[in-house]
Structure 1
Amino acid sequence: MVDLRQELLAVFDAEYRDHLRVIRGLLNTGCDTAPALAEIFRRMHSLKGAARAVEIPAVEDVAHAVENRLSMLMERGGTLDDADIAAIARALDDIDGIMETPPPSQPPPP
């Protein structure tokens, strides 16, 4: 069971890094179009689901918060302003911080 979890976490590690790389690229090169906003939303949604699957609730919570913010913005037909971009960038940094923090040690199974 531990081996499977380690494999899933390794896949998640690569996946989350790819999502964050693409989102950062969009934030840096221009995300003032509906397709760019939809791509950021889609990637945050995917990241949220993947974090849930590997039981990393802190990443899931951050991704969910960004997803909610983007959803409200998309419903209004808006685009990202400087405050939105800064908030998303901070959220991505938060996710990196969570992933770089070693998990608490768990007691051995009975």
Structure 2
Amino acid sequence: MTLVQSQIANRKSQNYNLNLKSKDVKVRVYQFALAIIKFINSLPDKRAFWSIGDQFLRAAASIGANMMEAQTASSRRDFIKFYEIALKSSNETKYWLCLLRGSCPALKTECPISFRRINRNK
């Protein structure tokens, strides 16, 4: 069962509030975005890193933004859609991380962000 499916199954009221476990997920996603901001600010000052870093940050920040947006969804379908977008942003975040690590071998050891951490936030 995916996070989206478990959120829907656990929701008991019509107001689409998230359960307690998902609040922990939102906190982790927020902390993850902050870690990415710090990491991006430490990237080499080269044009390629500006562009890739910008996309990496946008994708990572979008995860939490869509989860927050889902809280005020006007329908169950809307709620699911926001979580689907968050999942897609998570996958995009993995791509940009892979590209950053591939473009600079030193980043493989310096980067505090891992695929495991991204997967855990789903």
> Please, what TM-score do these two structures have when normalized by structure 2?
0.46
